[in-house]
Amino acid sequence: MTMSFASLLRILTLIRKELLVILKDPRSRASLVVPPILQCLIFGYAATYDLNTVPYALVDQDRTTTSRNLVAKLEGSGIFERVATLTQTGQAVRLLDTKRAVLIIVVDRDFERQLEAGSPGTVQVIADGRNSNTSGIAQGYANTIVGDFTADWLAQKGSSGNAVQVTTRAWYNPQLETRWSMVPSLIGTITMLMTMMLTAMSVAREREEGTFDQLLVAPFTPTEIMIGKAVPSMIVGITQASTILLVSLFWFRIPFAGSFLTLYLGLSLFLAAAIGFGLFLSSIAANMQQAMILCFVFLMPFMLLSGLMSPTDNMPEILQYATMINPLKYAISITRGVYLEGAGIEALFPDMLALLAIAAATMPVAAWMFRHRLN
């Protein structure tokens, strides 16, 4: 018991020393809070698939009251902004080439007559495929508006045409706002970025500043040094995650549906896995520059294979296997599940178990590498 208490005191001393190194510089203190807030705001506003303005060119070959009503419905949505009115489809090429228009909407010359005959009116939507995401979303908006207009027109005429009324509803994100999906995911993404870099650079900083030799002659075991390096990073990570959570709650006003206890349990397991990777990198880096480069080598694939921007199920099978060792993938699943769905521990248990397995694998490897470097 005496030895355990002495070991605890040494660990607490090392934790205090690490926290003082991190917090003694005002610029260092600001860098722990300001960048996560700025990154959260930038991603929340900039990284969105929602379109507020779609510039389009109109080719109305029908020129009837019905076609004009359709155009009025498009522009009345507040999304579509007409930049040109053309007489032929060929004139639209220059608009697409110069990116003045995202869509070219062509109303067939028999549009009204087709509707009166009980068949769907023909409206062609030409999109700029160079930006597939934007064009696809804009096409979806246009198709929805045209479909609604056709259904309303047939209902007013009492016609039994081929228009099909589709009722849609989205769970967990009623307005399908990208921000609702993006911002909760940043709780894990930004926290991992800062935590891994902080952990990986901790030992490298000791080597560059010449204080690593003091650790060698001090009565610290490699395990005690690892714990003393890991706990401050865990504290910083929890603080940054809480900051991003507050921004999403009170700035973006995204409703929180789950349990804070479940969320922080998942984040603790995630930070343990991320710190395990950070300590591993720290044990093999000779200086801070190497540690920073190694962090970016790992962080970029982690972000691309996390499901943040695109579903992992759409990736090639070999990459889907690679995502199984990515702690960020499970962190995003947990934060989205708790924040938007209100999921409990039983639903998130597989993700938490995976994080626990990653931490259990990376921590011993990092300890062995660290002990090997000390020897």
Kindly report which listed range (42-56, 144-158, 199-213) carries the lowest average pLDDT score. 199-213
Q: Evaluate whether 128 touches 55 at the Cβ level (below 8 Å).
A: no
pLDDT tens-digit readout, 333-353? 999 999 988 889 998 999 999
72 class by beta-carbon count within 10 Å (0-12 exposed, 13-18 middle, 19+ buried): exposed
pLDDT tens-digit readout, 231-267? 888 898 999 999 999 999 999 999 998 899 999 999 9
User: For residues 331 and 272, what is the distance between their CA atoms, to the nearest angstrom?
Assistant: 11
Give the model's pLDDT for residue 166.
45
* Strands 123-127 and 103-107, bridge-based pairing: antiparallel
What is the three-class DSSP state of 18? helix
Q: Evaluate whether 50 touches 134 at the Cβ level (below 8 Å).
A: no
Q: Strand (E) positions, the chain?
A: 54-60, 80-86, 103-107, 123-127
pLDDT tens-digit readout, 73-116? 888 888 888 988 888 877 877 887 777 888 888 888 888 888 77
What's the whole-model pTM score?
A: 0.75
Torsion (CA) 267, 268, 274, 275 in degrees, nearest 10: 150
- With CA atoms as reference, report the closest residue to 270 among 340, 323, 342, 335: 335
pLDDT greater than 80 at residue 1: no
The residue type at 103: L
Look at 219 and 362; give whichever has higher pLDDT. 362
Give the model's pLDDT for residue 363.
82
User: For residues 345 and 352, what is the distance between their CA atoms, to the nearest angstrom?
Assistant: 8
Give the model's pLDDT for residue 351.
94
Residue recorded with tokens 């579903």: 311
Taking residues 175-203, report their average pLDDT: 84
pLDDT tens-digit readout, 148-186? 887 787 777 766 555 544 455 666 777 767 788 888 989
Q: Evaluate whether 334 touches 263 at the Cβ level (below 8 Å).
A: yes
